[in-house]
Amino acid sequence: MNISSDTQIGEVVKHNFKTASLFQANNIDFCCGGKKTIQEACVEAGVETSHLIAELTDVAGHSDPDSEYINQLNLSELCNYIIKRHHSYVRTTIPFLLRNLDKISDVHGKNHPELLEVNRLFGECAGALTMHMQKEEMMLFPYIQLLEEAQRNNVSHGKSPFGTVANPISAMIAEHQTEGERFDSIASLTDNYRIPEDACTTYEVTLKHLRDFEDDLHRHIHLENNILFPKAIELEKKLS
């Protein structure tokens, strides 16, 4: 891949997800900010553009079988992958984190009052993400799969209840942004998930799982914002 200052961040990560760690290390949002060029992102983050491009080029020059697998999936397969890999993870992990955050807030909240705010923020995130995933699984993803089926069978895909697919996609992207910002606050409150000296085992495990949850959320959002959604919009335009 030829990476330049005008290359969009999402395209780089789409080509090779291993580059995501470089963006994260430089405080550059690769999921919700995937439409920004490398130049724009570097200016905002105060990063030397040429240096980052050199690092990205080196990493992107190595193969990433996982990205190659994702990029060869059709839209229906990608929808199913997101549900089975990311939606399932979110649904499984939310109850565990809610229980543990309640527990460590009760035990350590006096010495670490930031835990009370982290608990509140994650509770809001849990409810919002649950509704978000339901909307995708019940409305958006089936319509995307319908578009692909219409193309495959060379038939009309009919009218959707929400007009163009760009309408629900716009709403989903806005919700992604909200959750990304919510986790930015959680990371800041916990000093990027630093384990305090007086932390018990539950405290330590909870922060580790919170970090893992954020990492999974970033990739989840990347797959939708930078791969699935643009392809769905492009497909609908072709069919229309």
Q: Name the residue range of residue 132's domain.
A: 73-239
Global pTM value? 0.93
Domain boundary among 67, 82, 104: 67
Over the stretch 85-96, which tens digit does the pLDDT of each residue have?
999 999 999 999
Which candidate, 73, 229, 209, places its Cα nearest to that of 141?
Answer: 229
Tell me, yes or no, whether 230 and 120 share the same domain. yes
What pLDDT shows up at residue 163?
Answer: 87
Total structural domains within the chain:
2
Average pLDDT over residues 65-69: 95
Q: Cα angle at 13 between 7 and 18, to 5 degrees?
A: 130
Lookup result for tokens 């959002």: 221
Contact 89, 216 (CB under 8 A): yes
Residue 159 has pLDDT above 90, yes or no: no
Residue 166 has pLDDT above 80, yes or no: yes
Tell me, yes or no, whether 43 and 154 share the same domain. no
DSSP letter at 17?
G
pLDDT band at 156 (very low <50, low <70, confident <90, very high): confident
Lookup result for tokens 């395209």: 11
Q: Looking at 24-38, 147-161, 171-185, which range is the least confident one? A: 147-161
Tell me, yes or no, whether 16 and 80 share the same domain. no
Residue 239 burial (C-beta neighbours within 10 Å; 0-12, 13-18, 19+): middle
pLDDT band at 117 (very low <50, low <70, confident <90, very high): very high
